[in-house]
Amino acid sequence: TTTPQKGQIESVLKETYNKYKDLKEGKNADYIPELAKVPSDQFAIVIIGPDGQVYSQGDVDALYSIQSISKVLTLARAIEESGAQAVQDKIGVDPTGQRFNSALAVEQNKGKELNPLVNAGAIATTSMLKGNTYEEKWKNIIQTHNDFAGRQLEVNEPVYKSEAATNQHNQALASLMNSFERMYFDPQKSVDLYTKQCAININTKDLAMIAATLANGGTNPVTKKKVVSPQTVAHVLPVMATCGLYDDSGIWFYNVGLPAKSGVGGGIMAIVPGQYGIAAFSPRLDEAGNSIRAQRAIADIVSKLNLNPYLIQ
């Protein structure tokens, strides 16, 4: 890869935004009732470079819930606190090949061989974070998110309440995990913490800053705070590469070659290690639960700016 010039990044960003701004394929997630209400036409793309330089297009200030992307941050924190081996042993790091909320994936290996980026593994990862009480664990989770984003984030209360009232399936996953002794805190409290972390509100600049912090070896490029170690990031990015876009993770990696993570709120972040954090947001999702415009926008940008690390030319 080469390092693109600033003007080139700006023009590619603009071109990509214009190419997809009228695309209406897919639909909002609606299994969490509040997500169905998010304006579907919202679209934003942000790139943040190693010097903290921000490039943006579209609705960059629009707030939305982070959803599954929070799983990356709690994974990073768990590795930082307990070590990579503990996460490998207590949760697992292999792709399940199943949908993100699969109970079958839990049942078939008795709660083992999951990964922190599918619901059951993510709830278990949240349960293993440091803190003796619900409150202590929550402080740990929100602080981690604030540190990655470089500013204080808030919970989207309507989304939190909406999902808490309808998350019986996740409660069932936690109980099933508990039956296999693969939960490390009260299962229902862990589901609640997980639901709340998924409801943290971000905008696309926050998402790009989270991505840029990962691209920068775990140090936020603007606040300069060391959020997690480079060694932790080196374990997080491969899990994103193999499991970041649910059961379409293989297709994504095959085509784009970068670790990424999506959320059903419509956000996707991709990481160019040592260089850029790229984020895009658009609420309409495909069958796998990944934002259609966000995927296409990031894929185009990576190709046009020649950021695929596997493409040597």
Residues with Cβ < 8 Å from 176, sequence gap 6 or more?
103, 106, 107, 111, 120
Question: Of 93, 289, 299, 300, which lies in the binding site for ligand GLN, with binding defined by CB under 6 A?
Answer: 289
Catalytic residue, chosen from 38, 46, 228, 264, is 264
Is 163 an interacting residue with respect to ligand GLN (CB under 6 A)? yes
* Shortest spacing between CB 25 and ligand GLN, in angstroms: 19
Question: Of 73, 76, 198, 215, which lies in the binding site for ligand GLN, with binding defined by CB under 6 A?
Answer: 198
20 is catalytic: no
Residue ranges in 1-40 that form contacts with ligand GLN under rule CB under 6 A: none
Pick the closer one to ligand GLN by CB: 73 or 198: 198
CA distances from 308 to 2, 14, 32, 65, 228 (A): 10, 20, 34, 28, 25
Catalytic residue, chosen from 246, 262, 291, 302, is 246
Residue ranges in 250-269 that form contacts with ligand GLN under rule CB under 6 A: 263-264
Q: How many residues bind ligand GLN (CB under 6 A)?
A: 11
Residue closest to ligand GLN, measured at CB:
68
87 is catalytic: no
Residue 11 sits at φ, ψ, to 5 deg, of -70, -35
Catalytic residue, chosen from 102, 194, 228, 256, is 194
Question: Of 170, 204, 275, 282, which lies in the binding site for ligand GLN, with binding defined by CB under 6 A?
Answer: 170
Is 68 an interacting residue with respect to ligand GLN (CB under 6 A)? yes
* Shortest spacing between CB 301 and ligand GLN, in angstroms: 22
* Shortest spacing between CB 100 and ligand GLN, in angstroms: 5
264 is catalytic: yes
Residues with Cβ < 8 Å from 272, sequence gap 6 or more?
1, 215, 258, 278, 302, 307, 309
Question: Of 100, 148, 184, 185, which lies in the binding site for ligand GLN, with binding defined by CB under 6 A?
Answer: 100
Is 155 an interacting residue with respect to ligand GLN (CB under 6 A)? no
Question: Of 42, 67, 96, 162, which lies in the binding site for ligand GLN, with binding defined by CB under 6 A?
Answer: 67
* Shortest spacing between CB 173 and ligand GLN, in angstroms: 9
Question: Of 57, 96, 115, 119, which lies in the binding site for ligand GLN, with binding defined by CB under 6 A?
Answer: 119
* Shortest spacing between CB 154 and ligand GLN, in angstroms: 17
Return the HEC string of the chain: CCCCCHHHHHHHHHHHHHHHCCCCCCECCCCCHHHHHCCCCCCEEEEECCCCCEEEEECCCCCEECHHHHHHHHHHHHHHHHCHHHHHHHCCCCCCCCCCCCCHHHHHCCCCCCCCCCHHHHHHHHHCCCCCCHHHHHHHHHHHHHHHHCCCCCECHHHHHHHHCCCHHHHHHHHHHHHCCCCCCCHHHHHHHHHHHHCEEECHHHHHHHHHHHHCCCECCCCCCECCCHHHHHHHHHHHHHHCCHHHHHHHHHHHCCCEEECCCCEEEEEECCCEEEEEECCCECCCCCEHHHHHHHHHHHHHCCCCCCCCC
State yes or no: 163 annotated in a binding site. yes
* Shortest spacing between CB 228 and ligand GLN, in angstroms: 21
State yes or no: 68 annotated in a binding site. yes
68 is catalytic: yes
Tokens for 199? 């409801």
Catalytic residue positions?
68, 71, 194, 246, 264
Using CB under 6 A as the criterion, which residues of the chain lie in contact with ligand GLN when the complex forms? 67-68, 100-101, 119, 163, 170, 198, 263-264, 289
